[in-house]
Structure 1
Amino acid sequence: MIREAHANGIKLVYREEGDPTAPPLLLIHGRTANHNDWNGITQHFAARYHVIALDLRGHGASDYPGSYELPEMAEDVVALLDHLGIGRATLVGHSLGGIVAYHLAMNHPDRVERLVLEDAPPPLPIPNRPPIVEDDSTGFDWRMVHGTEPQLVSPDPAWLTGLGRITAPTLVLSGGELSHVRAEEVAARIPGAKLVTINVGHLIHTAARGRFLQAVDAFLDG
């Protein structure tokens, strides 16, 4: 079921699956994707969770407000949880969605039951990153790409410290040597985080769906 909410001053579109009385599990897609990135994943979790897969601001059918600060994107998710009457949720975030998820977990520890970060970039400077070149891709706001890029390349140093404030049990999935992301740097800074490497590159949940689901299930059941 596709729904929309007015949350944190913008329209957020989201998809709901599963029993609304089951434990809530929120899926947060990566940059330039949308809730459809989780097709095939939502159905698996909907067997025992109330699954919510949103379009982040600047993506899909949600609003394109022009401002794309990563901590503010995390506040959007908190506002969506408030709209849905959800106190605590398990968060699963891929790439940029993982950054949004760890900002939420560091700033609102009381709202996160468990945290799964799929190949999420650490808040460390990225040297020699090539500039963004626009193409004819649609379905997202190019201003979001340009607005988030400086925050990825030269993140606020306080964000690295913030990872140490995360209290939720955390699973970090790394795409290994085939990925451009060093997710193990995230795991090293979150207290007690478990690191699992699936050496298929950045898009673990599509390149190795079965192994992705097996790792997440084992963590959530643990």
Structure 2
Amino acid sequence: MQRKTLQVGGQTLSYLDNERAGPTLICLHGHFGCAAMFSFMQHVHDGRLLLLDQRGHGLSEHFPTYRTDDYVDDLAALIAHEQISDPALLGHSLGGINAYTFAARYGNVSRLIIEDIGTEVDCSNEWVLKLPREFATVLDVEQALAAIGMDFEPYFTESLRYDGLKWRYLFDYDGMVVSQRQMNGDHWPQWDAITCPILLLHGTKSWASNTANILAMKERNPNTSLLIYEGAGHTLHDECRERFCADVKNFIGN
């Protein structure tokens, strides 16, 4: 995949593009993630694939604001920059809210895949401020996360970079706290406004969404197909990779 950049408000967004012909799928990661976490989708989607490092993540710059509207405007800028019409969107967690908010606002989305996030959100990223800003080894990262009760999820590895002296995270520590605060709340108006086909995926042991809210999303928007992953957590694309790929491939039709 080719690494590309885009200027938004005088700052840089970074993204990956497989530059294939065919229908476009854009993937949006969650908090603390990066574009590379969805690189496996090259083997799932036969058309064009765009993977965005959302603001404050990956190789994109750290921005002064992290409102949902900001993320949605970034996505709109990417779509306009690449002159894409009617892409499919896949979003995990933060990326899921940004994806369905974009679909509600603009309508020019062919299909929408939402991975384990609801319309009623109340979480905190305050824990990230307890992490050091640099690490001597990757083992130190794992131990630091364990010390504050966090699992060393794959996306925590994917967002690490070594500068020749220390390991550091690419994401904006302070920005992640602000971003989660902005993301919390009631998103029902956006969900109710979506008119394209939706695939909603939910893990029954997720810490980020609850089954009652997910079931209500299925009932309130008739365009929704719901698949429940019994016993799975929040990162279905890692925990249940084979099934996740098959479900997404079946939904997008290639």
Q: Report the TM-score range of the alignment, normalised by the length of the smaller protein.
A: 0.7 to 0.9
In the TM superposition, 1:65-214 aligns within 5 A as 65-109=63-107, 111-122=108-119, 124=120, 126=122, 132-133=126-127, 134=129, 135-136=131-132, 138-153=169-184, 155=185, 157=186, 159-176=187-204, 178-180=205-207, 181-182=209-210, 183-199=214-230, 200-214=232-246
Q: Is the 8 A contact 1:172 1:195 kept in 2?
A: yes
Assess, with a 3 A threshold, how the Cα gap between structure 1 residues 188 and 59 changes in structure 2: closer, same or farther: farther
Give the Cα separation in 2 of the matches to 1:147 and 1:27: 22
Give the 3-state SS of the residue equivalent to 1:113 in structure 2: coil
Do 1:17 and 1:43's aligned partners in 2 also have CA atoms closer than 8 Å?
no
Q: Quick check: 1:8–1:75 contact (8 Å CA) kept in 2?
A: no
Q: Which has the higher contact order (CA 8 A, sep 6+)?
A: 2
Residue type of the partner of 1:91?
Answer: L
* Contact in 1 for aligned 2:29/2:94 (Cα 8 Å): yes
**Which is further off, 183-192 or 61-70?**
183-192
Match of residue 57 from structure 1: 55
Given the two structures, how large is their TM-score scaled by the length of structure 2? 0.77
Tell me how far apart the structure 2 counterparts of residues 30 and 186 of structure 1 sit (CA, whole Å): 20
Using the TM superposition, give the Cα deviation of residue 215 of structure 1 relative to its aligned residue in structure 2, in angstroms.
0.8
Matches of 2:189 and 2:26 in 1, distance apart?
25
State the Cα deviation string for residues 133-159 of structure 1 (Å, max 9, x = none).
221361100122121222333x2x4x3
Q: What is the SS of the residue equivalent to 1:171?
A: strand
Residue 149 of structure 1 aligns to a residue in which SS?
helix
The alignment covers a number of residue pairs equal to 211
RMSD: 1.9
Over the matched positions of the two proteins, sequence identity in percent amounts to 27
